[in-house]
Structure 1
Amino acid sequence: MPGNTSPSLEDIDEIVHEPSREFVESTNVYDFMQEYGIEDYDELIERTTTDLEGEPDSGVDWFWDELVDYLGIEFYEEYDDVRDDEEGPQFTDWYPGGELNVAHNVVDRHADIDEERRNTVATIWEGEDGEVREITYHELHRQANQVANALEERGVETGDTVGLYMPMVPEVVSILYGCFKAGAIAVPIFSGFGVDAAATRIEDAEPNVLFTGDGFYRRGDPVFLKSAADEAIADAGHVEHTIVFDRLGSSTKTSEHEIPWDDDRDEWWHDVVETRDDEYETKSLPSDQESMLLYSSGTTGQPKGIVHTHAGVQVQCPKEVYFGMDLKPADRFFWVSDIGWMMGPWTLIGTHTFGGTVFMYEGAPDYPDPDRFWAMIDRHDLTQFGISPTAIRALRKHDKRQPTSDEPSGSDGARDDEWLSGHDLSSLRILGSTGEPWDPESWRWFYENVGGGDAPIINISGGTEICGCFLMPMPTQPLKPCTLGGPGLGMDIDIVDREGNSIKDDHERGYLVARDSCPSMTKSLWSGDERYLEEYWSTFEDMWNHGDWAQQDEDGFWFLHGRADDTLNVAGRKVGPAEVEGALIDHDAVNQAAAIGAPDETTGTAVVAYVVLEAGREETDDLREELYAQVGDELGKPFRPREVLFVDEFPKTQSGKIIRRAIQATYVGEDLGDMSSIENPRALEELEDAR
């Protein structure tokens, strides 16, 4: 079954995971339910998301108000009310009148409490080359203060943006928290992005300061990040100070790695951060003060700048890590991510709010061998492990043999995995996944072989737009393969038809929507309210349209069935078709381009590109290779097309709009549907014959 093809409910209509009573009663969410007299999961969701009989506030208001004290989140100044929604759910003001700072909650208070807490390990980092570093809360606190002081020396003030185009090294945590301390808006940029993708985000965010590194290791070889940062800055402008972390040893005179250097702009981390004062008074900021600007690709060419606040991420991320991932004081939390993706900040803020330990890994999942993750889980006694379905599909391929069609996964002899054997994974309590739909076979393999048939898979879905989850199982729930459980706590979520009528209880497939706001919902888009309202609030009245197909089965389990819009979800990373098409058109041989998503066994969705060449250019394999490289260089290797197909024309409407659904349907062999609007029917034959 293709990785991103959602199974029918009949294929997964079996409860596979049934938590023991002992396990249920050990969970954080069970304690919460006992505290408030909540009997079961259904009552829990009702209590936290719907109107409360006889109460002036809704369950949403009650929950997000109660949560602050329950999780021990500290405000410098108490808020006047849990929210002000006079302008509707689109522009809800959460915790008005309050003041806080994420940095105080995730690092300052832990470093100040007592010697034991100060010396607790905040992050364990393992480099691809095997180097291991442990950073305590005391060390993290000192370094975050140094970052804040370095930023202020370079003129950064509250509300200014600061770019993080960084390798996944421990210092990235200090940079993020240092930005929070100084009131700067952190702008994480995925380290795997090519020049154009990075430049687009720098141009939009306009940071004066950019943190980057000389490079990092990937499959044993250095990847030079600094040169890409320089090109992106040259294209985008704005950056006047580049602070470079030395991961590869490039700053030493004996280094074999030479990187470009601008004496007027570039400075080494060890010169400008490590020499700064390690005392800093963290700023007290309004609840709605911007904390991060995270980018998400849409169906237009310009990525969306998602605006998050201090209060929003400070309540959402810890809520999910504490209840959904059941974080305990002695846990070691590992979610495979980059700081440039939402799950990076989500993991850090969620875990560090409770003084927990985050594990970070720099390199490839299968280097030097396919057991790298299993070896690290064993070596570091990791307790939570989150990963994308794509990565599991790739790792599953390394089985000695796959089960036959009549031999179900988990049958005797079918799962003798040569790379898993020899590694003790018994420390794992909770598994996690996000980013894309599962296929049942890979879900079962993950559950049975990595989790040992005991650890629940907390399969979550939300997005950069809320720095959290609309859907999230609780560890107390039974699970069917591929399920997302149900709505997250405090999240008023529904499934509706095209007219906006709820069809959740009819068990039909429909649009996943939010009927109410939540504290971490983006306050708008960086580019302004117009696009924000158009992207999320224009389809249905006063409902957030998330763009996913969803369905609830008769037993109450929720499932997703892929995107209802055109966004390409490649291995859990989203890119707009227009971005791919723009990269192709930048090649002087390309006149027009159309990018679609196709099912792919490994990445879930693969990019397939159709191109129309300029007159006189030949369709050659060499040109095809150039186009593969063009997209990889501009957007990053994950978004390189799986195929580039040449055609003479695209099917278009009379107004000249390319009919992408016809291209998509032709490629995957689906019914074309109504083609009455097509201006040039012969183009459909071209698609069939494309090579």
Structure 2
Amino acid sequence: MSSSPAPLALPGMEWPGLLDAERQLVQQLLDGVKAGTVRAPQAWQQLVRDVLRPEQPFQLHQALHAAVFAGWDERVLGPAPIWVPTAADVAGTNVQAFMDRFEGDFAWRAQRTGQPAADWRLLQRVSCANPEGFWSAVLRELGVRFAAPPTRILREAAPDDPDGCVWLPGARLNIAEAALSCPRAPPEAPAILWAAEGRPRDVQAVGREELQRRCYHVASCVAARFRPGTAIAINMPMTVEAVVAYLGIVLAGCSVVSIADSFAASEIAARLRISRAQAVFTQARSEILGVYFKMPGMLPAVGGMASRDVVLRGGKALPLYARVQDAAAPLAVVLPADGAQAPLRLPLRGGDVTWEAFLAGPGGAPRELVAFSPHVANAHEATNILFSSGTTGEPKAIPWSHVTPLRCAADGWAHQDVRPGSVVAWPTNLGWMMGPWLVYAALLNGGTIALYQGAPLGRDFVEFVESAGVEVLGLVPSIVKAWRAVGCLANAGWRRLRCFSSTGEASAPEDYHWLSSRVLGYRPVIEYCGGTEIGGGYLTGTLLQPQAPSAFSTPTLGASLVLLGPEGGQSPHEGGTPCIGELALVPPMLGTSQRLLNRDHFKTYYAGMASCAATGRRLRRHGDEVARLAGGYYRALGRCDDTMNLGGIKVSSVELERVVLERLGEQLLDAAAVGVPTPGGGPELLHLFVVPREAGRDAALLAACQAAIRVHLNPLFKVERLVVVAALPRTASNKVMRRVLRDQLAVAPRSKM
């Protein structure tokens, strides 16, 4: 019947820790569920409201949930929910207000029921079937300002030419200008709230006028040095100055090249080369390292760094400017890590300039007073070049246009329920798609970006969330695991929080039940699965539907999808029965990529794909394996191809193997990298299979492989396990059979590997 955990063995089922009146209510509700007079979701909703509290043992929360849903048949009903919306929860959402006003088409008017969850499913169907009417209404709702409005929403192409369609034909705008001048933003609400590491309660505000002034200042200086269309990289943490630089570059008509601050010099060099970047914004700090490292032995072993620079985040040194130099980068604009006003004492490479000098303009005259008009462009001009790992080793370079951020804004509006004045925090970086997503999803919806300029893993970040009044908190599952391990959410408060959202990697249901229960009255976790090439998500949740941990309750608005079976069969979302398959998207979909800088876009996403049985359009490859559950829910199972998510960072097996074999070629004959989910569900763990030249050096090999990956690829990647084998399984064409290796890990005891 149920796959929920069995009730814990509590003495006489007396539910220790509860008051007598609470025990009576629990028993009354359980009796009602058993008799069929109370539905389990409503019983659970009442327990969450009237009985359960964050300070109670989590085992009590688990036991009560298991008891309430003991008779819940997941094969028929889907996963048991952890959060069930009340009428008040639904009434205040963006989507409910939109549905009350939306005129829609005949199908919408004829089939609407007035029940939020049912009407949501209808709205999602309408968003795919009638993009012209639906997206016109959403753009009006968002109040997006165009210099010239589109002549229509979508100009379609032939079914076998998915990249030939044009979204918003005729539109001209600057999406950064639209974000900075959102008409729905409350005048008193700041654009950014931030706090420095170590001072989480000292929250500073950047008003909308101030942010606009600073972004226009940067844009004026960019325009004085570079022509529109120039690629300019950003390689720095997610700070106020990073947001200012990002929007300033876009205002000037240039393209931001997104490079994560954790990348090694070789990865930075590859992205600069592929994008043909002409400059890079980065950070440095030039004081003596002993100021940072309070304990002996904390100085990381990075060659040459002690004499150059570091930026410290969460106790980890980020030698950003040093890496930029090692990458042979073009002109570097170097910001002080201590803040925009702090002087930079570090000697710079010839040709590089400080932030202060850059803002003074090429001639040394302050450009802040020079009138600047944003570059108004065709909607399909590039604004951002982001990277997504492929299976060939070189990252795919994916341009975002002025249209792509509209997908970010629409997803945030509909799914995370970002409202005018909402404070949104999402620990991320401009090197990953969730960095630009945060900027646009907050500002285009009139919300506020919340930035803690430090690590999100401890109590300081928890206090910042409360102090800043965060309403929408984005996470990756690794953060939640860290919080749970150290217990830093005790008495967190988080009074204004309305929802969590999770992306980047698979989550563990137990961890997310725990997370929901840490806020009085529970809060939903909106799972969010998509990709850089989509500009947002394709599977997620809403505040109108019950949410189960580690499950998706709906495709995103405008996302039509099918699951492909092993024999090529197609199972669409509508009317689809429970199954497992490779997820494919049915184009067209607002925000998805239509070109790559260094690959053939059609070959990458469409070649070899069947046509959709319902529409005749060629399906778009995405590469995720997904399970459809009963009740319209989904669970992500991982990648179908040879990529993995490590701590929310997508990386290919080929990239990892290349680094290991290049650096340890004298010790290794062969190597294969595979990602394996955490037991019980959760983030993937990196396992390395190696064929050594000499036996008996396993511990040394593990340390050497870890060091090679950290220094030459990403210091955040951890090798969970090294498996020494005599040979790797290969196909007749000599391709490594990584799925066979994953299967071996799943069935063999650790001691036998």
The reply to whether TM is greater than 0.5 is yes
SS of 1:452's partner is coil
CA positional deviation for 1:557: 2.0
| CA distance, structure 2, for counterparts of residue 420 and residue 658 of structure 1 | 43
> Which residue is equivalent to 1:422?
491
Q: Would you say the 8 A contact 2:653–2:673 is kept in 1? A: yes
Aligned to 1:139: 210
Counterparts of 1:185-584 in structure 2, within 5 Å, are: 185-214=255-284, 215-220=310-315, 222-232=317-327, 234=328, 239-248=329-338, 261-264=348-351, 266-273=352-359, 275-277=366-368, 279-313=371-405, 315-366=406-457, 370-399=458-487, 419-449=488-518, 451-498=519-566, 499-502=568-571, 504=573, 505-528=576-599, 530-536=600-606, 538-541=608-611, 542-584=618-660
- Whether the aligned pair in 2 keeps the contact of 1:434 and 1:459 (CA below 8 Å) is yes
Note if contact 2:409-2:442 (Cα within 8 Å) is conserved in structure 1: yes
Amino acid at match of 1:517: P
1:608 matches 2:696 = no
Q: Which AA in structure 1 matches 2:639?
A: R
* Residue aligning to 2:190: 121
Q: Measured at CA, do residues 189 and 51 of structure 1 come closer, stay the same or move farther in structure 2, by a change above 3 Å?
A: closer
Q: 1:165–1:211: 8 Å Cα contact kept in structure 2?
A: yes
Structure 1, residues 548-588: CA drift from partner, whole Å, max 9, x if none?
A: 22233332222222222221111221100111011112214
| Partner SS state of residue 545, structure 2 | coil
1:503 Cα deviation from its structure 2 partner: 5.5
Question: Structure 1, residues 611-635: CA drift from partner, whole Å, max 9, x if none?
Answer: 334x579735334322211111111
Question: Is contact 1:628–1:644 with CA below 8 Å preserved after alignment?
Answer: no
- The answer to whether the Cα contact below 8 Å between 1:619 and 1:646 also exists between their aligned partners in 2 is no
Displacement of 1:199 = 1.7
Q: Contact 1:331–1:382 at 8 Å: present in 2 too?
A: yes
**Larger gyration radius, structure 1 or structure 2:** 2
Letter in 1 for 2:248: G
Question: Paired residue for 2:36?
Answer: none
Whether 1:21 aligns to 2:83 is: no
Instruction: Judge conservation of contact 1:47–1:59 (CA < 8 Å) in 2.
Output: no
Give the letter aligned to residue 654 of structure 2.
A
- For 1:271, the aligned partner's letter is A
> Contact 1:308 / 1:523 at 8 angstroms: preserved in 2?
no
Opposite residue 437 of structure 1, the aligned amino acid is A
Q: Tell me by how many angstroms 1:212 deviates.
A: 0.7
Structure 2 counterpart of 1:390, one-letter code? S
Which one is further off, 99-108 or 129-138? 129-138
**Cα deviation per residue 1:584-611 (whole Å; 9 max; x = unaligned)?**
1221424432111123369711111223
The structure-2 alpha-carbon separation of the partners of 1:531 and 1:592, relative to structure 1 and needing over 3 Å to count, comes to farther
2:428–2:435 contact (8 Å) kept in structure 1: yes
Cα RMSD of the aligned pairs, angstroms, is 2.9
Contact 1:329 1:355 in 2 (8 A): yes
Distance 2:375 2:709 in 1: 42
Q: Is the 8 A contact 1:332 1:357 kept in 2?
A: yes
CA 1:340/1:9 → structure 2, altered by over 3 Å: closer, same or farther? farther
Cα distance change of structure 1 residues 51 and 688 upon mapping to structure 2, 3 Å threshold: same
* Amino acid corresponding to residue 354 of structure 2 in structure 1: W
- In structure 2, the partner of 1:585 is 661
Contact residue 143 and residue 182 of structure 2 kept, 8 A: no
| Deviation of 1:132 (Å) | 4.5
Partner of 2:47: none
Name the CA shift for 1:655/1:61 in 2 (closer, same or farther; >3 Å): same
Q: 1:503 to 1:45 in 2, by over 3 A?
A: closer
8 Å Cα contact 2:78-2:629 kept in structure 1: no
- 1:666 corresponds to which residue? 744
1:341 CA displacement: 1.2
Question: How many residues align structurally?
Answer: 624
Aligned CA distance change for structure 1 residues 574 and 109 (closer, same or farther; 3 Å): closer
Greater relative contact order (Cα < 8 A, sep 6+)? 1
Alignment-derived partner of residue 622 in structure 1:
700
CA distance in 2, matches of 1:538, 1:549: 18
The Cα of 1:689 is off from its aligned counterpart by 6.8
**TM-score in terms of structure 2 length:** 0.78
Q: Deviations over 1:310-354 (max 9, x none)?
A: 0221x2111122221222333211112111111111111111113
How far did 1:33 drift? 0.9
1:357 Cα deviation from its structure 2 partner: 1.0
One-letter code aligned to 2:381: Q
CA contact (8 A) 1:650 1:658 kept: yes
| Cα distance change, pair 503–688 in 1 and its aligned pair in 2 (3 A) | farther
Q: Distance in 2 between matches of 1:338 and 1:9?
A: 38
Q: Percent identity?
A: 25
Q: Is the 8 A contact 2:508 2:682 kept in 1?
A: no
Q: Distance in 2 between matches of 1:465 and 1:500?
A: 25
Could you list the per-position Cα deviations for residues 290-322 of structure 1 after superposition, in whole angstroms to 9, with x for gaps in the alignment? 111111112220111112110221x21111222
- The alpha-carbon distance between structure 1 residues 276 and 611, as it changes in their structure 2 partners (threshold 3 A), is farther
* Aligned amino acid, residue 280 of structure 1: F
**1:639 matched to which residue of 2?**
717
Deviations 1:634-664 (A, max 9, x none): 1112223223334443222343322222222
The answer to whether the Cα contact below 8 Å between 1:243 and 1:267 also exists between their aligned partners in 2 is yes
What amino acid is the match of 1:527?
N
Q: 1:454 to 1:150 in 2, by over 3 A?
A: same
Q: Using the alignment, how far apart are the partners of 1:28 and 1:161 within structure 2?
A: 36
2:212 alignment partner AA: H
Aligned-pair distance for 1:42? 3.9
Give the Å deviation of 1:253. Answer: 8.3
Amino acid at match of 2:357: D
> In the TM superposition, what whole-angstrom CA distance separates every residue of 1:342-399 from its partner, at most 9, and x where no partner exists?
1111111111113321101222223xxx323321122222111111122112211224
- CA deviation string 1:236-280 (max 9, x = no partner): xxx43110111148998896xx5x62122x110111126433531
Question: What amino acid is aligned across from residue 385 of structure 2 in structure 1?
Answer: L
Name the residue aligned to 1:175.
Answer: 245
- Segments of 5+ residues of structure 1 without an aligned counterpart are 2-7, 53-57, 400-418, 672-686
The match for 2:168 is 95
AA in 1 matched with 2:411: E
Provide the C-alpha distance between the structure 2 equivalents of 1:502 and 1:360, rounded to a whole number of angstroms.
Answer: 41
Distance in 1 (alpha carbons) for counterparts of 2:216 and 2:182: 13
Gaps of 5+ in 2: 4-72, 103-108, 285-309, 361-365, 612-617
TM-score (norm 1): 0.84
1:509 is paired with a residue whose SS is strand
Q: Bigger CA drift: 121-130 or 281-290?
A: 121-130
**Distance of aligned partners of 1:143 and 1:443 in 2 relative to their CA distance in 1, 3 Å threshold:** same
Counterpart of 2:430, as a letter, is I
Q: How far, CA to CA, are the matches of 2:652 and 2:700 in structure 1?
A: 26
Q: Say if 2:194 and 2:450, in contact at 8 Å, map to a contact too.
A: yes
